[in-house]
Amino acid sequence: MLMVLASDNKKIPVGAELFALNDRVIEDFLEFRFYHEPGADRRLTIGANGTRKDVIVKAREPLDLKLSDPIYKHCANDCAFCFVNGLPRGLRRELYFRDDDYRLSFLFGNFLSLTNLTDHDRERIGRLRLSPLYVSVHATNPAVRRKIFGNEKAGRILEQLRDLADRTVKLHCQIVVLPGINDGAELVRSIRDLAKLYPAVNSIGIVPVGISRHLRGFDPIRRGPARVIVKMVERFHNDFRKKLGTGLVYLADEFFIQAGQPYPPASYYDDFPQYENGIGMARRFLDEIDGLNRPRKIKGRFLALTGVAALPLLTALRRKLTYVMGDQNFLFDINRIENRFFGPAVTVAGLLAGRDLMTGVDRAGRKYDRIILPPDCVNDRGEFLDGFLRRNDRRVLVAPGKIKELLRCLR
């Protein structure tokens, strides 16, 4: 049932059910957005107390409705490496929901498996032009993909991608590399198969499997295998750039860290199609540091808490800030926080738990004017991953996403 939660038009009362707009069935807010024409008269079919009626809203009248959220699809796969399955008890409730819904993929870039996609879903995706979508492929070999996802329906991935391509949907695909399962020849096969679907497949992200102490059975990708993958993907990337004019396949930042190799230049990432997937974040950060002109003077003592992976980036930032400030009234220290909650194999700052970060704050004492936490380490309610609440302490600052925004906060 689709309910009106807020309305700016008295003809459409709060609490009414919305069934149709201009004879188009409204399944959720996506249809309402797609078929809503503000410059024309609109006919809505609404219901209340078991009865239905049509209401005409003139072009000059407002019609801004807030509709109830749909029930999003739950993941039906059984991936052995699923990070959510490995979460311990006691974290924020929403973290345990394993979504696998094309609407969340379209709206927020969540990756989906396509194993629960129905014929109606595919028709709706094409009709409403829900593009781009983000797809976890992992392997194009049907047998290997069925094994990875623990789902017999997973083997139809290329057929499903072709169907979406025929509906003019742009696709961003990711391959999470599982050592001994979908690396080596299987990774080569997957990249080649996906490249054949270009330009519908607009990018291919190669990401290492995430390991936590709560999830066993997989080894992290170490330096030797990481270097092999970097070299192999680089050959594909360069070949695609010559033939297609785009690199198409991109490695996550962690691969370069593990391989002990420098990050590629910004041109490697084209328009950064999988930035939120951790592909190109480090390069943008470093380029932002290089682009810093002499900012307004900042005085004070500051401490940045970060994870293992981001330590070299924060070190580069400290070097640049110390140089451009040029006096002794500015101190920028860095403390690397080991992830005791998820285990040392989890090195990204965004997965640091509140208890680990707050331990770092407590150890700092009152020595610093401001203590800077990693970006996105709390939700809108101020809760860390482990449910800890952010303290009401003006010294403790959650870093904004951009360096220039951070400098404004420090002033």
Question: 292-410, what's its fold?
Answer: Rossmann fold (3.40.50)
User: Look-up: residue for tokens 């990249």?
Assistant: 191
> Is residue 188 pLDDT above 90, yes or no?
yes
Q: Do domains 4-67 and 292-410 have the same CATH topology?
A: no
Rounded CA gap, 353 and 377, in Å?
8
What is the DSSP code (8-state) at residue 68? P
Task: Say which DSSP state 350 is in.
Answer: G
DSSP-assigned letter for residue 93: G
Instruction: Please give the residue that has the higher pLDDT: either 246 or 326.
Output: 246
CA distances from 267 to 247, 310, 399 (A): 9, 21, 27
Task: Tell me the per-residue pLDDT of 8-25, one tens digit each, with 9 for 90 and over.
Answer: 999 999 999 999 999 999
Phi, psi of 47 (to 5 degrees): -140, 150
pLDDT tens digits along 49-79: 888 999 999 999 999 999 999 999 999 999 8
In contact, 244 and 226? CB cutoff 8 Å: no
Q: How far is CA 56 from the centre of its chain?
A: 40
**Domain extents in the chain:** 4-67, 93-279, 292-410
In this predicted structure, the answer to whether residue 92 has a pLDDT above a threshold of 80 is no
Residue 374 contacts residue 313 (beta carbons within 8 Å): no
- pLDDT at position 294: 67
The rounded distance, in Å, linking the Cα atoms of 103 and 18 is 19
Give dist(CA 207, CA 204) in Å, integer. 10
pLDDT digits (tens, 9 = 90+) for 358-408: 888 888 888 899 999 998 888 888 888 887 887 777 788 888 888 888 888
May I ask the CATH architecture of the domain 93-279? Alpha-Beta Horseshoe (3.80)
Element (H, E) at 406: helix 403-410
Point out the least confidently predicted range of 148-162, 175-189, 273-287, 372-386: 372-386
Strands (E), 49-181: 51-57, 65-67, 111-112, 133-136, 171-177
Examine the pLDDT at 295 and tell me if it is beyond 70. no
387: helix, strand or coil: coil
What CATH number matches the domain at 4-67, 3.90.1170.40, 3.30.420.40, 1.10.3470.10, 2.30.42.10?
A: 2.30.42.10
What gap in Å lies between CA 137 and CA 361, rounded to an integer? 40
